[in-house]
């Protein structure tokens, strides 16, 4: 869903700033209502989580890959304006440092994933949850459905933006100047890849994230409910069902749905799941990579949990675990629809549109492709686990960088008056 440079006309890319920039301005003004000494670190953690989720690619129908975002979860907990800031900063850092999404396409990517996604997901959640207690199971279901709808609508928007390019922009010979895929291909491709793949992952992330907060940190949900929801609703009680049943059942259900979707779209052939050619995968290299990833996880995750202060143990451990496991997404063959290189486009169409060719190399990120620019990590003939290590290191760098940037920005934007109030005697902590 990260549109690269060259797929959109500069007129469209820059023109989308007309909607994106005012959204940023409003977000800066509105987010002050939820930021204080306790929620500033939470926003930074959420933004880093969003960055890590977007690194984790999953195979989807059509033989391509896609990813979750986490924007609806942020919107549910801290409000949609906070999600606009958290997701947008993550996307900007991904473009500037890792080449994930184009520089000219920043406005488009931020509008799709940083504005449309969280607002659509949030209002879907609000409509389904209604006035149910803030800690009720109904809200977990509402969160999952909101996450599913939010990212699916964002995917539809990307499909439309890509698909109108060959209609609006052609060269003298009538060939597309930028993205060559027509609307009849872009919309079905984006919707299919998400409705039966990434949207399921997003629903799982959102529902389980809210369920975890209900059980472990209900204060974040109850103390901010009047600000985030806009009205007072009862707190209620979280589900008494054991956590392992809730999380295990949800994860197993999502896994079964994805496997069924993969088999259906692969014609029932496990080697063609999701329509991809899994015979292209270097399985011996994957085995070595998995072994190294598991060893790193076994060493680093307990170490991080031991060293982090108590209030950061869970969040910090989760982020490090996701960064270590993120290279599992490298196993999936293919690439995300609409994110291919000029060579990929040439292989599909027999030519490279002039505008796409000219703009695709307009900027080179220092850690392009989430890899370290050293021969050990990026050599074309290096084993897969070398690239996996580079992917992990890039992820950890991104988490630290993004967490620091968002923490600093949120600290500057916080309402100091609310901080003083929260420290006064009798004030309810947020």
Q: Is residue 56 part of a domain?
A: yes
Q: Is the pLDDT of residue 149 over 80?
A: yes
Domain of residue 233, residue span: 10-279+332-364+398-423
Q: What is the pLDDT of residue 428?
A: 36
Q: What is the DSSP string of 391-426?
A: HHHHHHHHHHHHHHHHHHHHHHHS-HHHHHHHHSTT
What CATH number is associated with residue 175? Answer: 1.10.1760.20
Q: Is residue 166 part of a domain?
A: yes
- Tell me the per-residue pLDDT of 5-38, one tens digit each, with 9 for 90 and over: 999 999 999 999 999 999 999 999 999 888 888 7
231 pLDDT band, cuts 50/70/90, is low
What pairing do the DSSP bridges indicate for beta strands 64-66 and 58-60? antiparallel
Q: What is the pLDDT of residue 295?
A: 92
C-alpha–C-alpha distance, residues 366 and 372, integer Å: 8
C-alpha–C-alpha distance, residues 231 and 224, integer Å: 10
Q: What is the pLDDT of residue 415?
A: 64
C-alpha–C-alpha distance, residues 314 and 311, integer Å: 8
Tell me what the mean pLDDT of segment 121-141 comes to: 93
Tell me what the mean pLDDT of segment 246-264 comes to: 84
% of residues, the chain, pLDDT over 70: 96
Q: Is residue 310 part of a domain?
A: no
Tell me what the mean pLDDT of segment 288-297 comes to: 92
Q: Which of 149-158, 242-251, 295-304 has the highest mean pLDDT?
A: 149-158
Q: Is the pLDDT of residue 418 over 60?
A: no
248 pLDDT band, cuts 50/70/90, is confident
Q: Is residue 113 part of a domain?
A: yes
Tell me what the mean pLDDT of segment 362-384 comes to: 89
Average pLDDT, the chain: 88
Q: Is residue 136 part of a domain?
A: yes
Q: What is the pLDDT of residue 425?
A: 38
Q: What is the pLDDT of residue 320?
A: 86
Q: Is residue 129 part of a domain?
A: yes
Domain count across the chain: 1
147 pLDDT band, cuts 50/70/90, is very high
Tell me what the mean pLDDT of segment 311-332 comes to: 84
pTM, rounded to two decimals = 0.91
Q: Is residue 419 part of a domain?
A: yes
Residue 221, both tokens = 């949900």
Q: Is residue 382 part of a domain?
A: no
Residue labelled with tokens 């990434």: 198
- Tell me the per-residue pLDDT of 272-288, one tens digit each, with 9 for 90 and over: 888 888 888 888 999 99
Among candidate residues 261, 288, 256, 257, the one with its CA nearest the CA of residue 272: 261
| Runs of H (alpha helix) within 105-176 | 106-109, 117-129, 137-163, 165-168
C-alpha–C-alpha distance, residues 365 and 354, integer Å: 22
Q: Is the pLDDT of residue 430 over 80?
A: no
Q: Is the pLDDT of residue 161 over 60?
A: yes
């Amino acid at each position: 869903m990260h549109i690269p440079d060259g797929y959109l006309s500069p007129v469209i890319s820059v023109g989308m700033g007309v909607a994106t920039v005012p959204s940023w301005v409003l977000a800066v003004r509105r987010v002050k209502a939820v930021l204080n000494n306790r929620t500033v670190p939470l926003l930074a953690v959420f933004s880093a989580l969003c960055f890590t989720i977007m690194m984790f690619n999953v195979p989807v129908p059509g033989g391509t890959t896609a990813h979750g975002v986490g924007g609806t979860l942020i919107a549910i907990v801290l409000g949609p304006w906070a999600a606009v800031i958290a997701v947008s900063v993550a996307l900007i850092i991904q473009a500037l440092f890792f080449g994930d999404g184009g520089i000219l396409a920043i406005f488009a990517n931020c509008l799709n994933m940083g504005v449309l996604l969280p607002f659509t997901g949030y209002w879907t959640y609000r409509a389904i949850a209604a006035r149910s207690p803030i800690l009720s199971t109904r809200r977990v279901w509402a969160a999952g459905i909101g996450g599913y709808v939010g990212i699916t609508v964002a995917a539809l928007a990307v499909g439309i933006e890509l698909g109108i390019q060959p209609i609006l922009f052609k060269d003298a010979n009538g060939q597309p100047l930028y993205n060559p895929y027509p609307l009849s291909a872009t919309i079905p491709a984006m919707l299919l890849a998400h409705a039966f793949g990434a949207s399921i992952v997003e629903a799982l992330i959102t529902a389980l994230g809210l369920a975890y907060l209900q059980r472990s940190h209900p204060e974040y949900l109850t103390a901010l409910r009047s600000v985030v929801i806009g009205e007072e609703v009862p707190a209620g009680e979280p589900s008494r069902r054991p956590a392992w049943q809730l999380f295990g059942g949800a994860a197993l259900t999502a896994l079964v749905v994805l496997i069924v979707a993969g088999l259906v779209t692969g014609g029932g052939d496990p080697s063609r799941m999701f329509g991809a050619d899994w015979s292209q995968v270097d399985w011996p290299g994957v085995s070595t990579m998995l072994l190294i990833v598991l060893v790193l996880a076994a060493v680093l995750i307990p170490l991080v949990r031991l060293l982090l202060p108590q209030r950061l143990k869970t969040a910090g451990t989760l982020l490090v675990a996701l960064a270590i496991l993120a290279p599992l997404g490298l196993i999936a063959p293919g690439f995300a629809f609409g994110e291919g290189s000029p060579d990929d486009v040439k292989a599909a169409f027999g030519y490279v549109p002039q505008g796409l060719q000219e703009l695709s190399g307009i900027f080179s990120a220092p850690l392009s492709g989430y890899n370290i620019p050293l021969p050990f990590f990026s050599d074309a003939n290096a084993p897969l686990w070398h690239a996996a290590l580079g992917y992990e290191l890039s992820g950890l760098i991104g988490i630290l960088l993004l967490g620091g940037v968002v923490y600093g920005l949120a600290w500057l934007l916080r309402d100091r008056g609310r901080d003083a109030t929260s420290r006064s005697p009798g004030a309810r902590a947020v």
